[in-house]
């Protein structure tokens, strides 16, 4: 094969290498953008908390009053919140709100940050309700009484993953009042989410990771001429957390000197 043919072969392989580099760079870019948009998407079992607007809960009936008073409301000190009181002497009621869950995520729990004026008034349940068909709902309830007077954040019991694509979601907090002069202050509410392993973006990220971890490509050790026209294959990506192999021990005897002619 003449030099011209070798040169064409080399250019052809060089173009192939450039296409390979472009493909890998594009894949890494997509992975990076996926991390920015869905920071937990790389590991389908990782939890993330999405904080929702806790100031727009609606009262179960007219006896429950929800208000936002950052100046004179009970236990306002520090970060203000949604103040919940009751005109009834004692009793149970609820506050509720609709939920907007980002696509490709599943709900596995609820985090509630709150405090109260006394242990006689408390959050009696955390419930997630999902519409199945008009008139039919599925309800998942954590009925643990949340009675801390001091500011605290609590998580509901872990739930089987709930897919928002199966129906509209609503969050309900049961509230129990020990008297008209007592109050609950909701400081924050968050949804505990995990990525949906069946989502398109999760499958794409997993495919890119697999391609990245197992990637090798063929390259020429020289300019493609004569003894430099040798193909070699790169190793797989190196994990920096794994220590390098131990180098071989030096020879125990010095090499023999060549005899003079």
- Residues of the chain with pLDDT > 90: what percent? 37
Instruction: Give CA torsion, residues 194, 200, 202, 206, to 10 deg.
Output: 160
The reported pLDDT for the residue numbered 15 is 43
pLDDT of residue 86: 92
Least confident of 35-39, 207-211, 219-223, 234-238: 35-39
Tell me what pLDDT residue 162 has. Answer: 93
Query: Which pTM does this prediction carry?
Result: 0.62
Question: What are the residue boundaries of the structural domains of the chain, listed by start?
Answer: 3-41+201-233, 48-196
Beta partners for residue 99, in sequence order: 169
The set of residues, in sequence order, having a beta carbon less than 8 Å from that of 175 and lying 6+ positions away, is 64, 84, 86, 92, 93, 94, 95, 121, 122, 123, 124, 184
CATH match of 48-196 with 3.30.300.30: no
- Between 34-43, 130-139, 187-196, 235-244, the lowest mean confidence (pLDDT) is in 34-43
Q: What is the full DSSP assignment across 22-42?
A: HHHHHHHHHHHHHHHHSTTTT
Is 84 in a helix, a strand, or coil?
strand
3-state secondary structure of 205: helix
Least confident window among 26-30, 129-133, 175-179, 191-195? 26-30
Mean pLDDT of the chain: 77
In the chain, where do the E strands start and end?
Answer: 48-52, 58-59, 64-67, 82-86, 91-99, 105-116, 122-133, 136-142, 152-155, 162-163, 169-177, 184-195, 218-220, 231-233
- pLDDT one-digit tens code per residue, 58-109: 999 999 999 887 666 666 566 788 999 999 888 899 999 999 999 889 999 9
Predicted pLDDT at 42 = 42
Strand, helix or coil for residue 99: strand
Is residue 229 within 8 A of residue 55, CB to CB? The reply is no
Token readout for 46 is: 């990782």
Tokens of 160: 């089987």
Mean pLDDT of 106-124: 93
**Alpha-carbon gap, residue 207 to 173, rounded angstroms:** 40
Average pLDDT over residues 193-220: 73
22-47 pLDDT, tens digit each: 455 555 454 445 444 444 344 445 78
């Amino acid at each position: 094969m003449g030099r011209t043919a070798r040169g064409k072969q080399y250019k052809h392989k060089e173009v192939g290498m450039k296409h390979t580099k472009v493909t890998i760079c594009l894949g890494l870019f997509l992975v990076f953008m996926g991390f920015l948009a869905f920071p937990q998407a790389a590991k389908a079992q990782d939890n993330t908390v999405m904080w929702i607007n806790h100031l727009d809960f609606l009262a179960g009936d007219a006896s429950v009053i929800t208000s936002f008073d950052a100046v004179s409301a009970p236990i306002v000190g520090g970060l203000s919140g949604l103040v919940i009181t009751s005109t009834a002497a004692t009793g149970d009621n609820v506050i509720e709100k609709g939920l907007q869950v980002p696509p490709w995520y599943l709900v596995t729990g609820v985090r509630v940050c709150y405090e109260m004026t006394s242990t006689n008034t408390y959050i009696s349940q955390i419930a997630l309700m999902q519409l199945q068909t008009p008139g039919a709902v599925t309800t998942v309830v954590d009925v643990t009484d949340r009675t801390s007077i001091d500011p605290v954040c609590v998580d509901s019991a872990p739930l089987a993953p709930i897919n928002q694509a199966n129906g509209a979601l609503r969050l309900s907090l049961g509230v129990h009042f020990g008297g008209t002069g007592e109050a609950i202050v909701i400081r924050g509410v968050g949804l505990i989410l995990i990525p949906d392993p069946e989502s398109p973006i999760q499958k794409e990220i997993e495919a890119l990771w697999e391609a990245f971890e197992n990637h090798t490509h063929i390259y020429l050790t020289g300019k493609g001429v004569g003894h430099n026209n040798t193909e070699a294959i790169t190793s797989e990506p190196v994990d920096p957390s794994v220590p390098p192999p131990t180098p071989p021990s030096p020879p125990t005897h010095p090499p023999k000197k060549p005899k003079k002619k």
